[in-house]
Amino acid sequence: MDVTLLDRQQATYPLELCASSVPLFQSYLGSGPIVELKRPEAYLSGDGFHEFVYFPVGGGPEFGDSEKLNLVPPDAAPGYCISRTSSCQMTAFHAAAMKEEREDMILEKMESTPGSGSRESFTKRKAEVVAERKSKDKRIKGELEGESEVKTKCSTQVSRNSSKENSKACEVQKPDYIHVRARRGQATDSHSLAERARREKISKKMKCLQDLVPGCNTVTGKAGMLDEIINYVQSLQRQVEFLSMKIAALNSSAEFNVENLPIKELPSYVANFPAAAKLPAMPNLTCFQLNSMQKEAVNCMLNETMHPPLTATEGIASASVSIPEQALSSSTITLQPFSTWNMDPQGLYNLYNMGFH
Amino acid sequence: MNNPHHLNPTSLKSRFTTRFLRALTKIRAQKPISSSSPTEIFRRYRRIKVAADKSMAYSVRSRRIWSKAMLWKLRSRSYRRQDPCSGRRSGKTNQAIMKKSSNENTTTRREDGVGFVEEADELRQLVPGGETMNLCNLLDETAHYIKCLTTQVQVMKKIADFYSF
């Protein structure tokens, strides 16, 4: 009887319920056997298949529950995500898939609650979810193999699994940042889990780096990404060297009194520079026509970046190596766009590649 | 005075800018501006570059591994210049420290299991202090290093433009 009722519920009932509908639900299932509820650490498995009951750490309303029903009330979430499985009707696989979906939703919900009151309980719960998922997936795998046997051994498995989960959840509570998920068909020993966690962390960081480095969207794969990152860092370092060279050169030629400028206000002055940068580009070019000596100095610097010498004298000596005029002209070209405030870093990056390759 | 760009005085950019400008004024005060031989320009360029790196490293303090490594490198270089003997001594002790930290981290360095050791090594050479980091930390440090480098480039660009007018 209950089973058919549940079937109908599963078919029509949406996965997300609002809080007000839960008591209705509760009354709906009042007829089912009420299972003893354990406190947040444990979760209850009805028949060894993929059920768990989740309780808010702060203590919420207790739900009378049938063996086949799962309720998941997250702490501060506006709604409730309810997961239900039926041991008899659904196949293990389907149940596992549904469960994973639901758990994803749960985790998403948990993550989306901004500034949830107690971070510790939050992470603890996350760890609990993870731990439960882990052990559950283990059980799922084991159960897939002997599906028919499980049904018969329901009761014994319940006690065994709950004790296992208890211990697992207790272990996990101490370090509260394990976000590992054992997927189906994958090894679940601690080493591979840890490695998988590391790999996921690394890929997350690579994604962050991808946002930082312009022009990375085209490249796929970690090795190509790393190459792009390396190129970008190299180009940035070369830019710094080039700019310091430019400042050195301009220091020598231009005459101005730095003492007059209040140093504290200079940053804001420099920040307001875009207004001044709208002057015509011609003054830029005339200033950047370096005389021959400065050109030699630029030669030294370019040489240094390509083959870093040990001493300054060595660098000067290598200035005799003729640098093709193209490099210099491209370097002067790169000087011109510097006055634009919002210089597209990608464009500059490309220009530098032009100038230095 | 209308200041639409309200600068956060504690931001990395303003910290770096003030430090770098101070260093620049010091450099200008040291040498006469009249000499514009390539040697002089080259020397000044080196000094300015060191000043830029130093200002950036000091703006980040020791909060990051790369800044710590860069500061240590700059300090050991300046010690070596002043007094060769003391430089060697400090170099030894510092090397011991670095080795110790590297031993702690090298257990997971090579056996990353992710398969791009060459690029990771290249990146380690680029980022200061990268030799002692495992891949995870290396990526973190690279991200922060890139952010600081872009700030540095921006500020230096503006300064160069300011000087050019």
Contact criterion met (CB < 8 Å) for A259 and B17: no
Which pLDDT score is estimated for A81? 40
Q: How confident is the model at residue B47 (pLDDT cuts 50, 70, 90)?
A: confident
Instruction: Count CB atoms within 10 A of the CB of residue A148.
Output: 7
Task: Please give the residue that has the higher pLDDT: either A5 or A81.
Answer: A5
Are the C-beta atoms of B57 and A310 separated by less than 8 Å? no
A222-271 per-position pLDDT tens digit: 788 888 888 899 999 999 999 888 888 877 665 554 444 444 445 555 55
Asked if residue A327 has pLDDT above 70, the reply is no
- Which residues, numbered 312 to 351 in chain A, qualify as contacts with chain B under a Cβ-Cβ cut-off of 8 Å? 312, 315-316, 319, 338-339, 341, 343, 345
Percent of chain B whose pLDDT exceeds 90: 4
Question: Out of A41-45, A218-222, A235-239, A322-326, which region has the weakest mean confidence (pLDDT)?
Answer: A322-326
Are the C-beta atoms of A281 and A336 separated by less than 8 Å? yes
Q: Which long-range contacts (CB under 8 A, 24 or more apart) does A298-306 make?
A: A298/A245, A298/A249, A298/A328, A298/A331, A299/A323, A299/A328, A300/B38, A300/B42, A301/A241, A301/A242, A301/A245, A301/B42, A301/B45, A302/A327, A302/A331, A302/A356, A304/A241, A305/A238, A305/A241, A305/A356, A306/A356
Which pLDDT score is estimated for B134? 82
Q: Which residues pair with A84 in a beta bridge?
A: A69
Contact criterion met (CB < 8 Å) for A226 and B120: yes
Task: Please give the residue that has the higher pLDDT: either A58 or B58.
Answer: B58
Contact criterion met (CB < 8 Å) for A267 and B17: yes
- What would the two tokens of residue A7 be? 């079937």
pTM here? 0.49
Residue among A226, A247, A312 minimizing CB distance to B160: A247
- Which residues, numbered 75 to 104 in chain A, qualify as contacts with chain B under a Cβ-Cβ cut-off of 8 Å? none
- Which of A77, A6, A102, A101 lies closest to A47 in space, CA to CA? A6
C-alpha to C-alpha distance for B158 and A271, rounded to whole angstroms: 8
Identify all chain A residues contacting B21, using CB atoms and an 8 Å cutoff. Answer: 258, 263, 266
CB contact set of A56 (below 8 Å; sequence gap of 6+): A40, A73, A74, A75
Which pLDDT score is estimated for A217? 75
Mutation target to probe the B interface, by most B beta carbons within 10 A, among A243, A261, A334 is A243
C-alpha to C-alpha distance for A57 and A328, rounded to whole angstroms: 68
Contact criterion met (CB < 8 Å) for B126 and A205: no
Q: Which residues pair with A231 in a beta bridge?
A: none
In the chain, the amino acid numbered A293 is M
Task: Please give the residue that has the higher pLDDT: either B55 or A352.
Answer: B55
A289-320 per-position pLDDT tens digit: 445 555 555 555 555 555 444 444 444 444 44
Mutation target to probe the B interface, by most B beta carbons within 10 A, among A251, A279, A298 is A251
Asked if residue A6 has pLDDT above 70, the reply is no
Query: Are β-strands A79-81 and A16-18 bridged in parallel, bridged antiparallel, or unpaired?
Result: antiparallel
Identify all chain A residues contacting B81, using CB atoms and an 8 Å cutoff. Answer: none
Q: How far is A319 from chain B (nearest CA, A)?
A: 10
SS3 label, residue A84: strand
C-alpha to C-alpha distance for A47 and A163, rounded to whole angstroms: 14
Q: Which residue on chain B is closest to A266 by alpha carbon?
A: B18
User: In what helix (H) or strand (E) does residue A16 lie, and over which residues does it extend?
Assistant: strand A16-18
Question: Out of A337-351, B24-38, B85-99, which region has the weakest mean confidence (pLDDT)?
Answer: A337-351
Q: Which residue on chain A is closest to B158 by alpha carbon?
A: A270
Residue for token pair 């800018």: B17
Are the C-beta atoms of B138 and B108 separated by less than 8 Å? no
Identify all chain B residues contacting A282, using CB atoms and an 8 Å cutoff. Answer: none
SS3 label, residue A81: strand
Q: How confident is the model at residue A216 (pLDDT cuts 50, 70, 90)?
A: confident
Contact criterion met (CB < 8 Å) for A268 and B5: yes
C-alpha to C-alpha distance for B61 and A50, rounded to whole angstroms: 51
Are the C-beta atoms of B129 and B66 separated by less than 8 Å? yes
Which pLDDT score is estimated for A245? 87
Residue among B41, B139, B153 minimizing CB distance to A240: B153
**Size of the A and B interface in Cβ pairs below 8 Å:** 192
Contact criterion met (CB < 8 Å) for B17 and A270: yes
A45-100 per-position pLDDT tens digit: 444 444 444 444 444 444 444 444 444 444 444 444 444 444 444 444 444 444 44
User: In what helix (H) or strand (E) does residue B31 lie, and over which residues does it extend?
Assistant: none
C-alpha to C-alpha distance for A109 and A15, rounded to whole angstroms: 13
Which pLDDT score is estimated for A105? 47
C-alpha to C-alpha distance for B28 and B20, rounded to whole angstroms: 12
CB of A265 within 8 Å of a chain B CB? The answer is no
Q: Kindly indicate whether the ipTM for this predicted assembly is greater than 0.90, answering yes or no.
A: no
CB of A231 within 8 Å of a chain B CB? The answer is no
Asked if residue A213 has pLDDT above 70, the reply is yes
Contact criterion met (CB < 8 Å) for A208 and B143: yes
Residue among B37, B44, B164 minimizing CB distance to A287: B164
CB of A159 within 8 Å of a chain B CB? The answer is no
Identify all chain B residues contacting A297, using CB atoms and an 8 Å cutoff. Answer: 38, 41-42, 45
Residue among B40, B49, B136 minimizing CB distance to A198: B136
- Which of A15, A121, A129, A131 lies closest to A75 in space, CA to CA? A121
Identify all chain A residues contacting B16, using CB atoms and an 8 Å cutoff. Answer: none
Contact criterion met (CB < 8 Å) for A250 and B164: yes
Which pLDDT score is estimated for A236? 92
Q: How confident is the model at residue A132 (pLDDT cuts 50, 70, 90)?
A: low
A138-185 per-position pLDDT tens digit: 554 444 444 444 444 444 444 444 444 444 444 444 556 666 666 777
Contact criterion met (CB < 8 Å) for A252 and B41: yes
C-alpha to C-alpha distance for B111 and A284, rounded to whole angstroms: 52
